[in-house]
Amino acid sequence: MQAGQLDSLAREAARLRPVHLRELLKQEQRFERFSRRAGPILLDFSRQKLDEPALAALGTILDQHAWQARRDAMFRGDVLNASEQRPVLHTALRAGYSALPSLAPAAVRAEVDETLARMAHMVDAVERSEPGDFDLPEGITDVINLGIGGSDLGPRLAVDALAAFHTGRVRCHFLPNVDGHRTASLMRSLDPRRTLVLLVSKSFTTQETLLNAAVLKEWLVNAYEGNGERANRHFLAVSANVDAARAYGIPSQRVLPMWDYVGGRYSVWSAVGLVLALAVGMDHFRALLRGAAQMDDHFRTADWRDNLPVLLALIGVWNRNGLGFPAHGVIPYHDGLGKLPAFLQQLEMESLGKSVSAEGGDLRQATVPVVWGSVGTNAQHAFFQALHQGTDIVPLDLIGVARPAHALGANHEALLANLLAQGAAFALGKTAEQALAESPAGLDESARHSLAAQRTFAGDRPSSTLLLDSLDPGSFGALLALYEHKVLIQALLWDINAFDQWGVELGKTLAKSILPALASGSLSSFDASTRGLIETLRGLRG
C-alpha cells in the first residue's frame, strides 16, 4: 500500500482504538449493518473493531487498487504469477458450474472438462470394482492419497468435512509425511492387494512423496511375489508433470493431469481431489464445484460492500495493518472442519508470507499474520485462556454450522451456544466492577481486589462469525472459494505475488546436502549447530 493509504488506516485505527467493542455493539442495527450473506454463508463482522468510516477508508484503498480489474484478470487467465510466468486459473476448474459466462480460455475449459470426465470413469471403475479402461485391480477396499502440501491438505480436509456424504465404498488414508512411522503403520494395517495408491504430486519431484511411493511400491511388489507389473496396477497418478509420472512406470491411462496454472494449494478442485471423489462419489464432487462456482459468481458480481471475500480480505488488512495484530485464529465449531486451520495456514501463509513486492521491491506494510487455530469447543479448554486474557490480541474467525448432519440435537445446541458465547465474551469482556461484585464473601479487601483483577476480562477482542446453513458439498466448496478470493484481494493490496512460494526452497536444498552427511563424510561445510547435531545423531545411532 502507498504511504497515504497506510496513513488513512492509521488515522482510523487511532480514532477507533479507544472505542471499546462493547460500545460499537450498542450501535443501532449493528448486526444488520455489519453482516452479509452470500449463498449458504453468513458473515457477521459486527464484532470487528470497525465502523462505517473505517470501512469506507478500506474501500477507498481497495478502489485505488482497481480490484475488479485484478479479479477479472485472474478469471481470464492473465499471467498473475509473474515470477513463474503462469496464469492462475483454479477458477476454471469449476467454471462449468458458474451461472456467468466463463472468462477462462476455451482450451483450458476443454482440458478441464476432459479430465473431469476421466475422473468420473475412474471413480465408476473403483465403485463397480472393475478394471475399466484403466486396468485397475479389482476388489479395492482402501485408498492411500500419497501427497503433501497442496496435494494433501485440501483433499484431506474435504474428505473429513464431507464425512456425512461418504458412500462407504472405500476407506481413505492419507500419507503426506516422509516420517516412516505412519508409512509403516499403514503397511501393517492394510491389505496391499486391496489398496489403491494415488500418487499425487503437481511437480512429481517432491522428496517425501517419491520416497514413500518407492516404499509402497516395494510393499506391493512383495505382495505379488515380485511381480512388478501386477503391483503397478495399484498406482494412479495425478500430476502436472505427466511425463515424469509415465517415466515412473504409471501408464498414461492411469495418469490424470493437472496444470501449471493451478497452484498446489488451490488444486482440490482438480484431479488432486480424486480421493474425495472416491469417498463421496462424483455427484457430490460436482456439487462441491458448483458451490465454489457460486462463490466465484458472487465475487465477480457483488459490490465490494456486499462481497464476502472482499470484506474478509479488508477485515484482515484492517486487523493487520490498521490495528497491528500479528496473528489470526481460525476456530471451526465442527469436527469435520478440524483441518481447516491447517488448510488455511498453507493457503494464506504460503500465498501471502512474503516480504518483497511482486516486482521484488520493499514493502511498506506487514503482510500475512500467523494463521493458526483448532476446533471448538476443544480449543476453549486448551488455549482460549491466552486469547481471553493474554497480552496479545488475536482476531478470530469463528465458524459454525446451523444444521448438523446428525440427530443429536442437544449436542448441537451446546456447540452453537459455545460458538456464540465465545464471540460475545471476546468482544464484551467482564469489567473489574463486575468481577468485584462476583467475588466470594469472606475475603479481605485486598484479596477481593486481587481476585477480581484476575477475573477481569478486558474484552475488546475482535472476531468474525461465519455461519454455514449446513456443511454439505456446496457450502463447503463456497467456504474454500471464499478464502481463496480473500487471498487474491489481500495480495493485491499488499502488492505481492500470492501464487509462488520461493520461501520453501532453501530448506529443501539444505536437506539434500545433509541427507548423505547423516551417514558419513566431512561436516566442515556445515554451520556449528548442524555439525553438532549431526555428530550427536551419528553417535546415537552408532
Ligand X SMILES: O=P(O)(O)OC[C@H]1O[C@H](O)[C@H](O)[C@@H](O)[C@@H]1O
Residue numbers of the site for ligand X (CB under 6 A)?
147-151, 201-203, 206, 209, 264-265, 350, 501, 504
What's the CA gap between 332 and 379, in Å, rounded?
Answer: 10
For ligand X, which is the closer residue by CB, 201 or 294?
201
What's the CA gap between 490 and 356, in Å, rounded?
Answer: 14
For ligand X, which is the closer residue by CB, 41 or 148?
148
For ligand X, which is the closer residue by CB, 150 or 322?
150
We find the least distance from the C-beta atom of residue 122 to ligand X, in angstroms, to be 19
We find the least distance from the C-beta atom of residue 261 to ligand X, in angstroms, to be 14
For ligand X, which is the closer residue by CB, 19 or 504?
504
We find the least distance from the C-beta atom of residue 144 to ligand X, in angstroms, to be 15
For ligand X, which is the closer residue by CB, 2 or 203?
203
What's the CA gap between 330 and 423, in Å, rounded?
Answer: 12
We find the least distance from the C-beta atom of residue 147 to ligand X, in angstroms, to be 6
Active-site residue, selected from the candidate residues 26, 181, 381, 406:
381
We find the least distance from the C-beta atom of residue 2 to ligand X, in angstroms, to be 30
Q: What is the DSSP string of 77-123?
A: T---BGGGTB---GGGGGGGG-SSPP-S-HHHHHHHHHHHHHHHHHH
Residues near 254 by beta carbon (within 8 Å), at least 6 away in sequence = 134, 135, 136, 235, 236, 237
For ligand X, which is the closer residue by CB, 393 or 498?
498
Active-site residue, selected from the candidate residues 130, 508, 512, 535:
508
We find the least distance from the C-beta atom of residue 240 to ligand X, in angstroms, to be 8
Q: Shortest CA distance to 206 belongs to which of 239, 172, 158, 159?
A: 239
For ligand X, which is the closer residue by CB, 90 or 202?
202
For ligand X, which is the closer residue by CB, 415 or 496?
496
Beta carbons of 246 and 235 less than 8 angstroms apart: no
- Phi-psi category of 48—alpha, beta or left, where left has phi over 0 and alpha has psi -120 to 50? beta
Residues near 214 by beta carbon (within 8 Å), at least 6 away in sequence = none
We find the least distance from the C-beta atom of residue 247 to ligand X, in angstroms, to be 16
What's the CA gap between 270 and 115, in Å, rounded?
Answer: 8
- Phi-psi category of 226—alpha, beta or left, where left has phi over 0 and alpha has psi -120 to 50? left
We find the least distance from the C-beta atom of residue 149 to ligand X, in angstroms, to be 3
217 in catalytic set:
no
- Phi-psi category of 442—alpha, beta or left, where left has phi over 0 and alpha has psi -120 to 50? left
- 191 to 129, 235, 416: CA distances (angstroms): 16, 15, 41
- Phi-psi category of 373—alpha, beta or left, where left has phi over 0 and alpha has psi -120 to 50? left
Q: Shortest CA distance to 291 belongs to which of 42, 482, 38, 475?
A: 475
Q: Residue 388, Cβ neighbours under 10 Å: how many? A: 17
Which cell numbers in the block locate residue 394? 488475536
Beta carbons of 147 and 199 less than 8 angstroms apart: yes
3-state secondary structure 55-75: HHHHHHHHHHCCHHHHHHHHH
Which cell numbers in the block locate residue 260? 501449471
For ligand X, which is the closer residue by CB, 3 or 506?
506
What's the CA gap between 262 and 253, in Å, rounded?
Answer: 21
- 18 to 326, 376, 431: CA distances (angstroms): 19, 30, 16
Task: Give the number of C-alpha atoms closer than 13 A to the C-alpha of residue 376, restricted to the C-beta side.
Answer: 25
Active-site residue, selected from the candidate residues 350, 354, 485, 486:
350
- Phi-psi category of 489—alpha, beta or left, where left has phi over 0 and alpha has psi -120 to 50? alpha
Kind and range of the H or E element at 403?
A: strand 396-403
We find the least distance from the C-beta atom of residue 350 to ligand X, in angstroms, to be 6
508 in catalytic set:
yes
We find the least distance from the C-beta atom of residue 364 to ligand X, in angstroms, to be 26
Dihedrals φ, ψ of 440, to 5°? -65, 150
For ligand X, which is the closer residue by CB, 87 or 147?
147
Q: Which residues are catalytic?
A: 350, 381, 508
